[in-house]
Amino acid sequence: VGERRPGLKAAFEDRTGAAGLLRRFLDEPIPGGARWGFVFGSVVLVGLLLLAATGVAMALYYSPSTTSAWASVHHFQTEVTLGWLIRGLHRFGAHAVVIALGLHLAQVLLAGAYRAPREVTWWTGLLLFGLVMAFAITGFLLPWDQEGYWATRVTAGVMGLAPGIGDGLASVALGGTEIGNLTLTRFYALHVVLLPAATLALLTAHLYLFRRHGPTTPPEAKARPPEAFWPGQMFRDAVAACILLAVVAAVTIVSGGATLHAPADPQASWLARPDWYFRGLFQLLKYFPGHLEVVGALVLPGLIAGWLFALPLFDRAPGATLRRRWPYLLPVGVAALGYALLVVLSYRDDAADPAIRARLESQRQADARALVLAAGGVPVDGAGALMARDPLIQGRSVLERHCTETCHAFGGPRPDPETAAPDLGGYMTRAWLSDFLRDPASDRFYGGTAVDGMDPVEVEGEAFEALVDFLMALRDHPGVPEPEWPESLRAAAEASYYEHACDDCHSLSPDEGGFGGPSLNGLGSVWRNRKLVAHSGRGLFFGGMAEMPRFDERLQEAELDAVARYLTSLSMGEAVLARD
């Protein structure tokens, strides 16, 4: 076997053949020369490597259980050095892979590269596309946030539509009939072990077959001499890979990373939206009535996938010009355009609906609150329990369930003004109180209720401010300092109260109401709001004129407390949220 050259490199090469192997890879002849059009496959490959690299980094910090998954992702996102960046690169890298795959697929379709003898290359490519979708579905659940949880419910529902085997299929995927610990461990194992292994195997086959048959040269380039992969094509591929990485990094940095939504909460409703690449399927489901749902969810996507798989079997005529092949590609083109249209429609529908915008805004608030609550670490029973115990979240959700759509507005759109109860946006803040005093019987306040008999307070300037000061000073809360004001001002404020004959109707007593008006004792405090929500018809408040239901009969004690704290926090700040 020839004469051996001395030296470490040569010895290494003799033992391993590594350089020779590399050389064989790099000297692959490309018929017709290097082209920018050939970069998409490499871009997908680099994208997958980015996902693997960032995925390994996240796996070092991830814990797949319902009590710890969200907390561990939150920890990675907020406390681990560059964690937010790594997670963002993973999320947006996945989006980039989907886009690059789409471009790769389009290029292969247009070039006719799926035709004989490359059918198997094509099929392995389609299967890889399917694997990427499976990665997307399993990965979406892993943070165990509301978005992932509810999206997975929808996915499981779609699987359940499969005739005959649906329920069994969904049960196997979820590890039971509900989404829980077993779903997380399953999805995690799929996402980090099984799917990567399958991807590696298929990718190897795909690349081997690609090398076996070579790229499909466009007819106009056939006359040009072949060129080795290195350096011409390698340069183009490397430039494209760098562009991919730069774009993904830029999107991640500009957007501040991937959003971590509030922890999964099976009892709340959540307006879940899939990522954009599943938005078309999502929108499609809106157009099919119940009994036909399986058509939109499984039959149509199945037909398109089936057509793609069967393409090389139909399209066999020699001479691969696009002009001859268009009838085979037409269904694919129509499907692609239709899908893009559905994606656009889905986003347009959401943007046009004020209720959805309001809902998304309230969800964003829940997301932000979760980050605040989890900042000091999450207790053993998990982030979900942390959220459930929080008066802000709990109070707001009770209000949304019982009040805001039917009776009280919340700064936003109002229910029927004839019957509406006061708008609680900014309840008992200085601004709310001032507006109220100036026009208590307006639609915004008590105009739609039976207690609309209070006259507007018609004073201006300092006297009015003094009155507001007096009312603001009635509230108290352990740990929240009372406003500091000189005795003279206090006296002036009190004088203002009596001067305006407030005491003709209102009392300041903790035990009894006034003549027609409620007692103002502790106005704006947590404990007063709790009493008011529990039973506004007691003598202390509105008596027989009260129209609000008794919520002590409808809510649990903790819910009542949460509502009172939440309402109070609007004017007294978040200090009143703490229970201890």
Partner 1 sequence: MLWSARMRDTAEKLTPPEGAAFDEGEPAADAPADAGRRTLLGRASAGLALIVAWALATPPLVALVGAWRRPSIRREETWVDVAGLDGLAAGRPVRATVHGTLRDGWMRHEGVPLGSVWLVRGEGVEVRALSNLCPHLGCGVDLIEGGRFLCPCHDSIFELDGTLVSGPARGGLPVVPARVEGGRVLVDATALEGEEPS
228 sits in which H/E element = strand 227-228
Applying CB under 8 A, does 578 fall inside the site for partner 1? Answer: no
Applying CB under 8 A, does 200 fall inside the site for partner 1? Answer: no
Judged by beta carbon, residue 1 or residue 223, the one nearer partner 1 is: 1
Minimum gap (Å) between residue 228 Cβ and partner 1:
6
**Structure tokens that stand for 544 in this block:** 């027989």
From residue 292, how far is each of 134, 152, 165, 299, 310 by CA, in Å?
25, 21, 17, 10, 26
Among 81, 267, 321, 488, binds partner 1 (CB under 8 A): 81
Applying CB under 8 A, does 378 fall inside the site for partner 1? Answer: yes
Mask for 391-430, x = binds partner 1 (CB under 8 A): ----------------------------------------
Judged by beta carbon, residue 231 or residue 306, the one nearer partner 1 is: 231
Mask for 87-126, x = binds partner 1 (CB under 8 A): --x-------------------------------------
227 sits in which H/E element = strand 227-228
Q: What are phi and psi of 355, to 5 degrees?
A: -65, -40
Applying CB under 8 A, does 310 fall inside the site for partner 1? Answer: no
Task: Pick out residues in 510-549 that bind partner 1 (CB under 8 A).
Answer: none
Minimum gap (Å) between residue 390 Cβ and partner 1:
15
Judged by beta carbon, residue 210 or residue 229, the one nearer partner 1 is: 229
Minimum gap (Å) between residue 101 Cβ and partner 1:
19
Applying CB under 8 A, does 224 fall inside the site for partner 1? Answer: no
Q: Contact, 71 vs 374, CB < 8 A?
A: yes
Token pair 């401010």 in the structure block, residue:
465
How many residues belong to the chain?
580
Token pair 């730069």 in the structure block, residue:
246
Minimum gap (Å) between residue 218 Cβ and partner 1:
21
Judged by beta carbon, residue 8 or residue 223, the one nearer partner 1 is: 8
From residue 524, how far is each of 475, 477, 574, 576 by CA, in Å?
5, 10, 14, 11
Please identify, among the stretches 79-87, 293-301, 467-475, 541-549, the one whose residues bind partner 1 according to the rule CB under 8 A. Answer: 79-87
Among 60, 254, 313, 352, binds partner 1 (CB under 8 A): 60
Applying CB under 8 A, does 252 fall inside the site for partner 1? Answer: no
Judged by beta carbon, residue 46 or residue 108, the one nearer partner 1 is: 46
Query: Can you spell out the DSSP letters for 380-449?
Result: TTHHHHHHHH-HHHHHHHHHHHHTTTTTB--SSS-S-TTTPBPP-TTTTSHHHHHHHHH-TTSTTTTTTS
Please identify, among the stretches 20-28, 174-182, 415-423, 493-501, the one whose residues bind partner 1 according to the rule CB under 8 A. Answer: 20-28
- On the 0-12 / 13-18 / 19+ scale of CB atoms within 10 A, 34 is buried
Coil, helix or strand at residue 366: helix
Judged by beta carbon, residue 248 or residue 540, the one nearer partner 1 is: 248
Q: Smallest Cα–Cα separation from 38: which of 193, 222, 171, 232?
A: 232
| Buried residues in 47-68 as b, exposed as e (16+ CB within 10 A) | bbebbbebbebbeebbebbbbb
Q: Smallest Cα–Cα separation from 262: which of 150, 145, 372?
A: 145
Among 241, 370, 409, 466, binds partner 1 (CB under 8 A): 241
Among 1, 9, 323, 478, binds partner 1 (CB under 8 A): 9
Q: Contact, 520 vs 433, CB < 8 A?
A: no
Task: Pick out residues in 36-55 that bind partner 1 (CB under 8 A).
Answer: 46, 49-50, 53-54
* Size, binding site for partner 1 by CB under 8 A: 54
Applying CB under 8 A, does 239 fall inside the site for partner 1? Answer: yes
Among 126, 127, 133, 238, binds partner 1 (CB under 8 A): 238
Applying CB under 8 A, does 505 fall inside the site for partner 1? Answer: no
Minimum gap (Å) between residue 356 Cβ and partner 1:
32
Which residues, in sequence order, are bridge partners of residue 227?
Answer: 30
Judged by beta carbon, residue 232 or residue 331, the one nearer partner 1 is: 232
Applying CB under 8 A, does 387 fall inside the site for partner 1? Answer: no
Among 64, 66, 68, 105, binds partner 1 (CB under 8 A): 68
Q: For 65-117, give the secondary structure using H, E and C.
A: CCCCHHHHHHHHHHCCCCHHHHHHHHHHHHHHHHHHHHHHHHHHHHHCCCCCC
Query: Can you spell out the DSSP letters for 540-555?
Result: TTTGGG--S--GGGTS
CA distance 503 to 562: 31
**Structure tokens that stand for 27 in this block:** 């000297």
Among 32, 41, 64, 83, binds partner 1 (CB under 8 A): 83
- On the 0-12 / 13-18 / 19+ scale of CB atoms within 10 A, 109 is buried
Applying CB under 8 A, does 193 fall inside the site for partner 1? Answer: no
CA distance 227 to 147: 49
Applying CB under 8 A, does 86 fall inside the site for partner 1? Answer: yes
Please identify, among the stretches 82-90, 210-218, 498-506, 550-558, the one whose residues bind partner 1 according to the rule CB under 8 A. Answer: 82-90
Minimum gap (Å) between residue 193 Cβ and partner 1:
17
Token pair 């609550």 in the structure block, residue:
373
Minimum gap (Å) between residue 98 Cβ and partner 1:
19
Applying CB under 8 A, does 465 fall inside the site for partner 1? Answer: no
Binding site for partner 1 (CB under 8 A): 5, 9-10, 13-14, 18-20, 22-23, 26-27, 46, 49-50, 53-54, 56-58, 60-61, 63, 68, 71-72, 74-75, 79-83, 86, 89, 227-228, 230-232, 234-235, 238-239, 241-242, 245, 249, 374, 376-380
